[in-house]
Amino acid sequence: MSAETNKRPTNNNGYIWIVAAFVLLVFGGFVISEATPLLFPTQGSAESRQVDDLFKFMLVIGGAIFLLVQGLLVYSVIRFRAKPGDTSDGPPIHGNATLELVWTAIPSVIVLVLVIYSYNVWISNTAAKDNEQVVQGIGRRFAWSFTYEVPETAIPDDVSVSDLSPTVQTQLEAKNSFTITSNELHTYVGRPVKVLLNTEDNQHAFWIPAMRIKQDLLAGRTTEARFTPIEAGNYPIVCAELCGDGHGAMRAEIVVHPDEETYLAWFNDTANTVFYPPEDPVERGRQILASGAYPCSGCHTLSDLGWQGVTGPNLNGVGDRADSVRAAATGETPEEYLHRSIYFPSEYLVPGFGALMPQFQPDDPGAPNYMPIEDHIAIVAYLCTQTSTGESVCDLDNLNQIAGQ
Ligand code: HEC
Ligand SMILES: [Cu+2]
């Protein structure tokens, strides 16, 4: 080492340099923490502000440490580069107790501050709020559905309970209310929401980036997610837990209505589909599938309903195929084939696909794969019309007979 490199700055100068470097690093941390959130989705909930503030706080610290480490690295590469022809070893340096104490103590303090800060955010964001809207969220491979309770008192005077579907009647008997289902989560600005989450198969995770919430769904347990929307709009809901083949298709939307009135307009429209179901089974089947009451959308593509799943065969034109290649392969009529491919899916596997479709059944209302016969017939009647002409290929009387009604 030359004499020059051994010359150290005087103590006074040293402090100034350290303070200057510290200020510069923290400033750099601030720049990083202010710039990064520009990439974030909308702050859709009251909670998202707290979460973002916590994240920005961590970015200031992380950004400053990043700049310190990278700065020292670049500095050292230039400053301590070996001179040409210098093949000697560097000076042997052993541990420095002061340095090690400092770089243990500072991170300990930082982590402690972060623990206290994030614990407070977590406690405040997960606390029960007054006047919560309670929604059941169900995750199934590979679709979300959301159910809302409708009290018996909401049934209009001109509707008699005995005309409602058997499933609704059973629910009314059991709990004086029934549920309506949607493949979207509907809420409105200012009303706190509590989503009770259940999975009907394996683990999923309910993630709404705009609300800054993410919560696992655990088999056999109900978990909760809470938030209060503050910004009207439609935002994505994503499954954040690799749950199988169609995981990437397991998406839905949250619709935040601007006020209670527009929310209730949606709610009443949806309840009316139960009070005044369409006479035509085809129309009824379309409505049932569009509601998201069954998880078909996560596995099948069907343009008429906007489905984009790829785990199972494309259902565009399935009526034509049921009437041609499938009829030839199974010896069944199209209505019989479509009926059996839902109640007994593994009996005949479409070439190129495995036995991944859940077996829907009409017998046990408590089971996740329950599909009552009246829903089933309507769904099959609808699939029978997925043809190039839009005409049904099925004999509906025969369908009623096969399905046992
Ligand atoms: C977890 C994924 C999954 C879900 C959910 C699912 N299916 Fe399937 N489906 C499949 C697979 C895979 C096949 C092909 C293998 C077979 O024939 O069983 C299939 C086959 C079918 C077929 C036969 C298609 C043809 O070309 O012959 C029909 C019809 C069908 N499904 C309807 C439905 C309906 C209606 C629902 C919702 C009530 C549904 N599926 C839910 C995966 C799924
Ligand atoms: Cu999932």
Higher pLDDT, 127 or 9: 127
Contacts of 118 (CB under 8 A, 6+ apart): 54
Q: What 3-state DSSP class applies to 255?
A: strand
Does residue 84 fall inside a structural domain?
Answer: no
* 32-41: pLDDT as tens digits: 888 888 888 9
Q: How far apart are CA 143 and CA 302, in angstroms?
A: 14
Whether 188 and 139 map to the same domain: the answer is yes
Give, using CA atoms, the residue closest to atom 17 of ligand 1: 349
- 238 CA distance to ligand 2 middle (Å): 8
Q: Is 96 exposed, middle or buried (0-12, 13-18, 19+ CB in 10 A)?
A: exposed
Query: Positive or negative, the Cα torsion across 382, 383, 389, 394?
Result: negative
Question: Counting atoms of ligand 1 from 1, which one is nearest the CA of 379?
Answer: 35
Atom of ligand 1 nearest to the CA of 356: 12
Which residue minimizes the CA distance to atom 39 of ligand 1?
A: 296
Q: Are residues 243 and 287 in the same domain?
A: no
Range of the domain at 146: 133-275
Residue 83 lies in a domain: no
Is the same domain home to 351 and 267?
Answer: no
**Reported confidence tier of residue 3, pLDDT bands at 50, 70, 90:** very low
Query: CB neighbours (10 Å) of residue 117?
Result: 15
Give the rounded distance of the alpha carbon of 239 from its chain centre.
4
The domain boundary residue, chosen from 259, 275, 291 = 275
Same domain, 238 and 297: no
Assigned token pair, 258:
């601007």
Average pLDDT, the chain: 91
For the residues of 162-231, what is the DSSP string, one character each?
A: GGS-HHHHHHHHHHSEEEEEESEEEEETT--EEEEEEESSS-EEEEEGGGTEEEEE-TT--EEEEE-B-S
Task: Write the pLDDT tens digit of every residue in 51-73.
Answer: 999 999 999 999 999 999 999 99
Q: Contact, 278 vs 288, CB < 8 A?
A: no
Same domain (yes/no): 31, 149: no
Pair (237, 305) in one structural domain: no
CATH of the domain at 389: 1.10.760
Domain boundary among 246, 275, 304: 275
- Residue 7's alpha-carbon distances to 2, 4, 10, 75, in angstroms, are 9, 5, 9, 18
Say whether both 294 and 224 belong to one domain: no
Using DSSP, how many helices (H) and how many strands (E) does the chain show?
12, 12
Phi/psi for 351 (5° steps) reads -50, 135
The per-residue pLDDT for range 335-377, each reduced to its tens digit, is 999 999 999 999 999 999 999 999 999 998 888 889 999 999 9
Note whether 226 and 289 are same-domain residues.
no
Nearest CA to ligand 1 atom 16: 349
Q: Which residues line ligand 1 (CB under 6 A)?
A: 141, 294-296, 298-300, 311-313, 318, 321, 326, 338, 341-342, 345-346, 349-350, 353, 356-358, 360, 379, 383
pLDDT value at residue 10: 54
Query: How many domains would you assign to the chain?
Result: 3
Residues 287 and 386 occupy one common structural domain: yes
Give the residue, out of 201, 333, 356, 357, with the most ligand 1 atoms within 8 A of its beta carbon, to mutate for a pocket test.
Answer: 357
137 and 198 in a single domain? The answer is yes
Does one domain contain both 258 and 244? yes
CA of 223 to the centre of ligand 2 (A): 15
**What's the 293 CA to ligand 1 centre distance in angstroms?**
15
Question: In this structure, what DSSP letter does residue 343 have?
Answer: H
